[in-house]
Amino acid sequence: MTSKIISIQTPGGNTIEIGGNGDLVLIAGPCAIESYDHSMKMADLIGKVCNQYHVKWIFKACYDKDCRSSPNSFHGVGLEEGLRTLERVRSETGLAVTSDFSDPAWGAATGEVVDFIQVPAYLCRQTSILRAAAETGKPVHLKKGQFMSPWNMKNSCRKIEAFGNDQILLTDRGTFFGYNMLINDMRAFPIMAETGYPVCYDATHSIQMPTSMGNISGGQREYIPHLTRAAAAAGIDALFIEVHDDPPNALSDANTVLDIKYFEVVLAQAKALHDARRELKAKWGEDNVHAR
């Protein structure tokens, strides 16, 4: 099934389209805004690779990390400083930017700055958050909660639609497999695609091992390439990767962010497989081998 297309407007006046059997789109950046300088550095490093491979992308960084394991973990630079930083990155690079928000009261202000608004996975069925996201009028990046079945994401989509927004990207970031462990069920992509919306794979949160290290989350980033290739082959419209130039010292998700030095090899393979899958689809048609 070919999904509908969602459109993200860049400050430079361009449109990034996700879905519709189009090119693979990337959403990437550090997990958290660490500083203006660091955000600009990451935008530059990621942008160089994306330009080389002709991949359209959206800069992602969050200003408030409300689901950290410990009260002592870095919580983020906060709403005001975060939005100021995102606005500067946006205006100085011309990139579309995105952030999540974890309090409905922050939705409107966040929506005034970002071009694409993200709903955190843990909050993916909270009506107040979905309403605030929908009412920004910006396309909504809706992550599947680790506790949600892919088919039940339809209910969250319906809530967003009920609040007047039908621009949704659905992302798999792993599903709880017992305690402290996530797995990716590749069936999630065709199942979520049945909603008609484009789908995305979150390459770095999927390998997270939630709160596996007592008061912080671990992760097995050695599997990022394997799972990303599998997702691209299964069929995705967008790829989400958190990237950092110094993972051991990253202020958030240090155990899962992808080192920038490996970013190219992951992106290049994902793009190649995405393009190959589209060629196969053109030759062999839809994947439906179970028609009624």
Partner 1 sequence: MSTQDKMTVSDVMLAIDATPQANRTTLLKEAFELMDHHNLGIVCVTSADGTLEGIITDGDVRRMLNTIQKPIAALMSDDVINHAVLTPLTVTSATKLSDAIAVMGNKKVWDLPVVDDGKLSGLLHLHPAVEALLAQ
Residues that bind partner 1 (CB under 8 A): 149, 151-152, 154-155, 191, 194
Identify whether the C-beta of residue 111 lies closer than 8 Å to the C-beta of residue 120: no
Residue number with CB closer to partner 1 (112 or 151): 151
The least distance separating partner 1 from the CB of residue 268, rounded to whole angstroms, comes to 35
Residue number with CB closer to partner 1 (154 or 229): 154
Identify whether the C-beta of residue 173 lies closer than 8 Å to the C-beta of residue 206: yes
The least distance separating partner 1 from the CB of residue 151, rounded to whole angstroms, comes to 4
Picking from 60, 68, 74, 145, the residue whose alpha carbon sits closest to that of residue 110 is 60
The least distance separating partner 1 from the CB of residue 288, rounded to whole angstroms, comes to 12
Residue 208 structure tokens: 């997270």
**At 17, phi and psi to the nearest 5?**
-100, 135
The least distance separating partner 1 from the CB of residue 166, rounded to whole angstroms, comes to 12
Residue number with CB closer to partner 1 (151 or 177): 151
Picking from 280, 195, 164, 116, the residue whose alpha carbon sits closest to that of residue 172 is 195
CA distances from residue 155 to 120, 135, 169, 256 in whole angstroms, order as listed = 16, 17, 14, 29
Residue number with CB closer to partner 1 (136 or 175): 175
CA distances from residue 247 to 92, 150, 221 in whole angstroms, order as listed = 25, 30, 11
Residue number with CB closer to partner 1 (16 or 193): 193
Q: What is the 3-state secondary structure (H, E, C) of 249-271?
A: HCCCCCCCCEEHHHHHHHHHHHH
Residue number with CB closer to partner 1 (103 or 194): 194
The least distance separating partner 1 from the CB of residue 130, rounded to whole angstroms, comes to 17
The least distance separating partner 1 from the CB of residue 154, rounded to whole angstroms, comes to 6
